[in-house]
């Protein structure tokens, strides 16, 4: 059952990826009605929200756009930097949305920053510790006393939960950044009504990739809980 769910999640993630790519390809060719560039849009969005001192940087690649909190940079890729397509402006405004979250001290953003360094370790170690607990329950319970394996498994599950929380918070943050970016596009009238719809479609498709990461980690968590089972009496 677990494997079927994981295969379904994998297939859905492929669909989401290809849909996002085709939306980006499509809307990278259409300039926004106002002709504003991604960089100008970011500047205006930051100014309107009284966020100063951010640097907009050009980075290589496509869809590699990101906000760097440590350096205070909004990094825009080849297909975004100084471009005036719907995709470029939407993506740049999304990244500016992250800069606003950071500057305004959004709670979820702080939580994400705090747990980010531990996520890789917790998700990997969590699985192994849970399995170790299950093995202890099966083979060593008599020597180590009742419930020891169960306790070890529970520790593993708690560790893995950190990763699930991280993906949930990330999804929340990504949707919020898209909302902020999209609202700016609407408020400043950079795009036509039709283009506003296109921008929304694109931003939400990008956010769906985070939803699938959350679904996958949640399914793994359920699997770990099933492996551990109930406490033996």
Instruction: CB nearer to Zn ion: give 9 or 95.
Output: 95
Stretch 62-101 residues interacting with Zn ion (CB under 5 A):
none
Residue with tokens 């990244």: 95
Instruction: CB nearer to Zn ion: give 9 or 99.
Output: 99
Instruction: CB nearer to Zn ion: give 74 or 159.
Output: 74
Query: How distant is the alpha carbon of residue 85 from its chain centre?
Result: 23
CB of 132 to Zn ion, least distance (A): 36
Binding region for Zn ion (CB under 5 A) out of 12-20, 37-45, 167-175, 217-225: 167-175
Instruction: CB nearer to Zn ion: give 174 or 208.
Output: 174
In terms of Cα–Cα distance, which of 27, 16, 12 is closest to 200?
27
Q: How far apart are CA 190 and CA 174, in angstroms?
A: 22
Residues 219 and 6: beta-carbon distance below 8 Å: yes
**Stretch 171-210: interaction string toward Zn ion, x if CB under 5 A:** ---x--x---------------------------------
Residues with Cβ < 8 Å from 67, sequence gap 6 or more? Answer: 73, 74, 75, 95, 96, 98, 99, 102
Stretch 32-51 residues interacting with Zn ion (CB under 5 A):
none
Task: Write out the residues near Zn ion by the rule CB under 5 A.
Answer: 174, 177
């Amino acid at each position: 059952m677990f494997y079927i769910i994981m295969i379904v999640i994998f297939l859905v993630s492929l669909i989401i990826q290809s849909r996002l790519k085709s939306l980006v390809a499509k809307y990278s060719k259409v300039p926004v009605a106002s002709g504003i560039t991604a960089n100008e849009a970011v500047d205006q969005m930051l100014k309107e929200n009284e966020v100063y001192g951010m640097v907009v940087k050009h980075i290589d690649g496509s869809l590699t756009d990101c906000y760097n909190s440590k350096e205070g940079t909004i990094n825009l890729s080849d297909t975004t930097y100084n471009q005036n397509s719907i995709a470029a402006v939407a993506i740049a405004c999304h990244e500016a949305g992250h800069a606003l979250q950071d500057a305004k001290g959004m709670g979820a953003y702080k939580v994400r920053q705090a747990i980010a360094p531990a996520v890789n370790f917790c998700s990997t170690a969590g699985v192994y510790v849970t399995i170790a607990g299950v093995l202890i329950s099966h083979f060593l319970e008599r020597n180590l006393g009742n419930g020891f394996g169960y306790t070890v498994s529970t520790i593993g599950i708690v560790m893995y939960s950190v990763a699930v929380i991280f993906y949930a918070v990330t999804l929340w943050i990504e949707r919020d950044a898209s909302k902020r970016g999209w609202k700016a596009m609407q408020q400043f009238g950079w795009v036509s009504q039709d283009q506003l719809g296109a921008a929304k479609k694109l931003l939400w498709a990008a956010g769906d990739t985070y939803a699938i990461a959350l679904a996958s980690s949640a399914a793994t968590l359920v699997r770990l809980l099933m492996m551990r089972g109930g406490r033996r009496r």
